[in-house]
Amino acid sequence: MEIILKQDIKGLGYENDIVTVKNGYARNYLIPKGYAITATETNKKILNEVLKQKTVKEAKNIEQAQALAKALDGITVKIGAKASESGKIYGSVNNIQIAQAIMEQYRYEVDRKKINIDQQSVKEIGTYSAVIDLYKDVKATINFEVFAE
C-alpha cells in the first residue's frame, strides 16, 4: 500500500515522502496514529502543491539568512563586563550577552541558541570570535571584544 508520510519516521522515511508499506502496518498503525495518509491521486496532487510552496518558502528563508550573514560577517561587538585588575572577568560572557549586544549595537535580531562561541568559556578581557548558525548551511562569523566596565 502506498502512503504519504506526515512526519519523519525512523527507518521508513521523511515527511512528505511517498513510501510503500504492508497494508496492515498502514491501516492499523500509521494512519490511525496520524503518521501517514493514503496516497490517492488527490492526496498526491495536494502533496505536489505543498512541496512547490515549501521550496519557494525555503528559497526565501535562505535568501534572508544569506543577507543577514553578509551583514553580520566580520562585525565587532563590544561587551562590557566587571573585571578585576588582572583582567579576569567576574563570571563569564555567554551567548545571551552576545545576542543582546548585537541587538543593541547593530539592530539585528539573532537567536541566542544559534550562537556558538569558539572557546569553551570567555573569562578574560580580550577579543574573541563566535559563529552564528543562521540557517542550514548559512553561517556568519562575528568578533566580540570584552572590555572592563
| pTM > 0.75 | no
CB contact at 8 A, 41 and 71: no
**Residue whose C-alpha is closest to residue 69's, from 128, 19, 131:** 131
Q: Would you state the pLDDT for residue 121?
A: 84
How many helices and strands, by DSSP H and E, does the chain display? 4, 9
Using pLDDT thresholds of 50, 70 and 90, give the confidence band for residue 83.
very high
CATH of domain 2-63: 3.40.5.10
pLDDT surpasses 90 at 69:
yes
Contact between 91 and 81 under an 8 Å Cβ cutoff? The reply is yes
pLDDT computed for residue 120 by the predictor: 76
Report residue 136's pLDDT band, with 50, 70 and 90 as the boundaries.
confident
Residue 146: predicted pLDDT: 94
Boundaries of every domain in the chain = 2-63, 69-148
pLDDT tops 80 at residue 32: yes
CB-based contact 67:95 (threshold 8 Å) = no
Q: What is the pLDDT of residue 137?
A: 84
Query: For residues 137 and 91, what is the distance between their CA atoms, to the nearest angstrom?
Result: 33
Q: For residue 1, how many other CB atoms are within 10 A of its CB?
A: 16
Domain 69-148: give its CATH superfamily: Ribosomal protein L9, C-terminal domain (3.10.430.100)
